[in-house]
């Protein structure tokens, strides 16, 4: 058919196919601001160890709501926290999280039958942002805020991960007296999430899944057969999710809340969503504004991770606004059959499918490769085990140390001692690990006594969980980008593509001996003795430049990372640690560091020795040495016997100039 014929036969090319999905642009603007009030609940035991996560959201200027099975008592709430801003920003990197303690002494109420808890949040004047900056989602007692078949949206922290959204095409399928049933994507850790209608009013508190049942009320498994506990929850057939109706929660709260909290819940039903200016779009110039700080362009929580194309908000010259939410969007397409509106039997048990996620729970959200999911889960599990265990056992370590060096004559001459130690380090290096810092460095080896990571040069502290998740994200992005490059860049070989991606998407880890010096070969690349946590900025700033000691390196001149000129770099911190790591490398891998100005000439070895003497071995290094000994089998003699530094001829480890 000719185009002219088609044009004559049709009044226009545009058609609505099925039900319209058009919504006003303000819906997205409201979504951005509403999501600010949603945070990750971190649940701790009596020893203040993390035992799980849930989701919670502010319902007034000082009150937080989540599930009863997330915070079941005032005692649990008193040692738990709410963490806002745990999400990715405009550049795809994690934003700085803002954490507040809960204050059950000011207000706490929980209802097991409706599965909700409301607790006061304690303001923190020292926090990066004030509590009121995150706004709140007011509770409206009116019925009829959503009808069967209408769209629902859920803002959540599935599996305790950064904030995500299941948005639209998630339909309400049943209206019960106290609960709503809906089809939407949730996961363990989503318990306590707010469920919104298309106007971004809270209509329910998400709390569980709804399993399929036969005519006798028995739960069914995935094969349609009766299910029992022995099969495990993963074999249950889930047909919907369930949320507690906000109108019912509101009625219950009004019977127990003190007058001043009743006024807080009813006297101010506005929130940043409904007070957002409508005449012009929000200004995003990098200056934080109430309710929109999550969209401000600025430094991330740690400066960790690469800069990758991400989500954003663009304000055009004409005042129009294009918004991409700074959270993951999980959009379902296609219609599903509606569940019958049948009241729940009062005697029927409610099943919570692992509703509160434990820290070691793997997640498929944002992760597609099963191997990466399993590896990240194990890394997080090792982190939790490390935080529970004693940090450093000096008695056991001394016994291990003495047994390790038993056959070495530590009184030998410098050349003989070098050879003996080299032979020992090489022969006992029985486990040669691949370079995977998220698995081998962050969870245990480089932990500080307080359970945090500390960047080797800047000494900034970071949550190891953030580094672990960020590096696994980088690993997946590298894999995806590599596939694209190999399809499009026929002029580049595989190794060249990999090198380019590693430069563009680096890990948050520093090789004290730069990889280019040994051509990225194993086992040098994965040897834990010279790997340290380090934010990308400092890692890139140093590059592959050898260490130097500037005579004019005064305190006022120091940047976060150090001072760099031409082929010289002096770190701000960590001099003793890096010196001992380089000296270990010379013992373990003779000839891999060349005697050149670009690497280490013999006179520069004196700098390393002087740093070693000026900065004594720390408990952190002893912990590292013991952890590495258990992982790969060998030890660093400069940590075990610091005084040996003058008894070893390290120049034997230098290779000849090329």
Q: What pLDDT is stored for residue 314 in this prediction?
A: 40
The SS3 of residue 120 is: strand
Phi then psi for residue 330, to 5 deg, are -115, 100
- Measured between alpha carbons, how far is 7 from 442 in angstroms, rounded to an integer? 63
pTM over 0.75: no
Quickly state the pLDDT bin for 374 (edges 50, 70, 90).
confident
Q: How far apart are CA 333 and CA 148, in angstroms?
A: 18
Summarised one tens digit per residue, pLDDT across range 25-74 is 777 888 888 999 999 999 887 777 787 888 999 999 999 999 998 898 99
Q: What is the dihedral of CA 308, 311, 315, 316, to 10 degrees?
A: 70
| Residues 196 and 238 sit within 8 Å (Cβ to Cβ) | no
Region for 398 from its dihedrals, namely left if φ exceeds 0, alpha if ψ lies in -120 to 50, beta otherwise:
alpha
Residues written for the chain: 658
Residue 368 pLDDT greater than 50, yes or no:
no
Give the DSSP letter string of 334-367: S--PPPP--PPPTTSPP--SS-SBPTT----TT-
| Two structure tokens written together for 140 | 């409206």
Backbone angles phi and psi of 387, in degrees to 5: -70, -25
- Please state the φ and ψ torsions of residue 421, each to the nearest 5 degrees: -70, -40
Residue with the bigger pLDDT between 520 and 299: it is 520
How many angstroms separate the CA atoms of 3 and 432, rounded? 67
The pLDDT score that the predictor gives to residue 183 is 73
Q: What percent of the chain has pLDDT over 70?
A: 73
Dihedrals φ, ψ of 261, to 5°?
-80, -35
Residue (of 182, 180, 179, 181) closest to 166 by Cα position: 182
Query: Cβ atoms within 10 A of the Cβ of 137, count?
Result: 26
DSSP 8-class letter at 417: H
Alpha-carbon distance of 114 to 245, in angstroms, equals 9
pLDDT of 276 > 90? The answer is no
Domains of the chain from N-terminus onward: 26-272+283-330 (2.40.10.120), 370-466+508-655 (no CATH)
* H/E segment holding residue 296: none
Lowest model confidence (mean pLDDT) among 173-187, 316-330, 436-450, 602-616: 316-330
Element (H, E) at 181: strand 179-182
Q: Which of 52-61, 167-176, 178-187 has the lowest mean pLDDT?
A: 178-187
User: 310 or 647, which is more confident?
Assistant: 647
The two beta strands, 328-330 and 164-166, are parallel
Report the pLDDT value the prediction gives residue 220, as an integer from 0 to 100.
Answer: 83
3-state DSSP helix/strand/coil % of the chain, to nearest 5: 35, 20, 50
Specify the 3-state DSSP secondary structure of 129.
Answer: coil
Q: Please list, in sequence order, all residues whose beta carbon lies within 8 angstroms of the beta carbon of residue 442, skipping any fewer than 6 positions away.
A: 379, 383, 453, 464, 467, 468, 471, 533
Placement of tokens 């040098």 in the chain:
524
β-strands 461-462, 593-594 pairing: unpaired
Measured distance CA(134)–CA(206) in Å, rounded = 20
- The number of beta carbons lying within 10 Å of the beta carbon of residue 256 is 12
What's the alpha-carbon Rg for the chain, to the nearest Å? 29
Range in 320-334, 371-385, 398-412, 565-579 the model is least confident about? 320-334
- Which pLDDT score is estimated for 564? 86
Q: Could you check whether the bond before residue 487 is cis, i.e. omega within 30 degrees of 0?
A: no
In tens, the pLDDT along 87-137 reads 988 888 889 999 999 999 999 999 988 999 999 999 999 999 999 999 999
pLDDT tier, 446 (very low <50, low <70, confident <90, very high otherwise): very high
* Mean pLDDT confidence for 528-550: 91
- Lowest-pLDDT choice from 174-178, 260-264, 367-371, 627-631: 367-371
Average pLDDT along the chain: 78
Whole-number Å distance between alpha carbons of 81 and 102: 6
Spatial distance between the Cα atoms of 73 and 473, rounded to a whole number of angstroms:
36
pLDDT band at 631 (very low <50, low <70, confident <90, very high): very high
Could you tell me if 471 and 508 are in contact, meaning their C-beta atoms sit under 8 angstroms apart? yes
């Amino acid at each position: 058919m000719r185009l002219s014929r088609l044009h004559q036969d049709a009044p226009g090319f545009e058609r609505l196919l099925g039900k319209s999905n058009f919504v006003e642009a303000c819906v997205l603007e409201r979504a951005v601001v509403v999501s600010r009030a949603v945070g990750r609940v971190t649940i701790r035991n009596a020893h203040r160890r993390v035992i799980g996560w849930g989701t919670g959201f502010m319902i007034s200027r000082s009150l937080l709501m989540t599930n009863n099975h997330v915070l079941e008592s005032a005692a649990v709430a008193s040692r738990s926290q709410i963490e806002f801003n745990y999400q990715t920003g405009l550049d795809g990197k994690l934003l700085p999280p803002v954490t507040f303690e809960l204050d059950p002494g000011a207000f706490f109420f929980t209802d097991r039958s409706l599965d909700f808890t409301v607790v006061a949040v304690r303001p923190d004047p020292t926090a990066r942002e004030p509590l009121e900056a995150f706004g709140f989602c007011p509770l409206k007692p009116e019925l009829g805020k959503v009808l069967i078949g209408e769209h629902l949206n859920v803002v959540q922290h599935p599996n305790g991960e950064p904030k995500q959204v299941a948005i639209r095409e998630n339909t309400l399928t049943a209206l019960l007296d106290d609960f709503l049933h809906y089809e939407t994507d949730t996961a363990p850790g989503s318990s306590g999430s707010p469920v919104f209608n298309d106007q971004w009013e809270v209509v329910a508190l998400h709390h569980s899944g709804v399993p399929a049942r036969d005519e006798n009320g028995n739960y069914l498994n995935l094969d349609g057969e009766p299910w029992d506990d022995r099969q495990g929850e993963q074999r249950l057939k889930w047909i919907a999710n369930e949320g507690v109706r906000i109108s019912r929660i509101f009625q219950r709260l009004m019977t127990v809340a003190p007058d001043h909290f009743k006024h807080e819940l009813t006297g101010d039903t506005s929130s940043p969503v409904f007070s957002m200016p409508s005449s012009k779009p929000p200004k995003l110039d990098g200056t934080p504004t109430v309710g929109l700080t999550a969209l401000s362009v600025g430094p991330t929580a740690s400066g960790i991770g690469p800069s990758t194309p991400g989500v954003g908000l663009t304000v055009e010259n004409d005042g129009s606004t294009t918004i991409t939410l700074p959270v993951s969007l999980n959009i379902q397409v296609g219609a599903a059959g509606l569940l019958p509106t049948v009241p729940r039997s009062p005697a029927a048990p409610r099943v919570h499918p692992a509703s509160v996620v434990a820290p070691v729970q793997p997640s498929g959200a944002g992760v597609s490769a099963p191997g990466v999911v399993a590896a990240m889960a194990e890394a997080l599990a090792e982190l939790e085990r490390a935080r529970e265990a004693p940090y450093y056992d000096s008695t056991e370590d001394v016994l291990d140390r003495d047994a390790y060096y038993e056959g070495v004559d530590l009184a030998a001459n410098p050349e003989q001692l070098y050879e003996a130690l080299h032979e020992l380090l090489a022969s006992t290096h029985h486990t040669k690990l691949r370079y995977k810092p998220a698995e081998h460095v962050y969870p245990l080896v480089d932990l500080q006594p307080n359970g945090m990571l500390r960047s080797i040069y800047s000494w900034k502290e970071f949550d190891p969980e953030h580094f672990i998740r960020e590096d696994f994200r980088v690993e997946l992005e590298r894999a995806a980008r590599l596939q694209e490059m190999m399809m499009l860049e026929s002029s580049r070989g595989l190794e060249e593509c990999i090198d380019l991606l590693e430069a563009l998407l680096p890990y948050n880890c520093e090789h004290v001996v730069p990889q280019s010096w040994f051509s990225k070969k194993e086992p040098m690349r994965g040897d834990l003795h010279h790997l340290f946590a380090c934010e990308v900025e400092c890692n890139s700033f140093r590059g592959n430049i050898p260490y130097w000691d500037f005579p004019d390196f005064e305190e006022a001149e120091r940047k976060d990372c150090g001072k760099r000129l031409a082929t010289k770099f002096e770190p701000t911190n960590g001099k003793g640690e890096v010196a001992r790591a380089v000296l270990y490398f010379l013992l373990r891998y003779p000839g891999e560091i060349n005697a050149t100005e670009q690497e280490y000439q013999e006179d520069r070895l004196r700098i390393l020795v002087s740093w070693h003497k000026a900065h004594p071995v720390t408990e952190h290094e002893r912990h590292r040495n013991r952890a590495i000994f258990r992982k790969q089998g060998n030890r660093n003699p400069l940590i075990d016997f610091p005084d040996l530094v003058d008894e070893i001829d390290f120049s034997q480890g230098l290779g000849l100039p090329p």
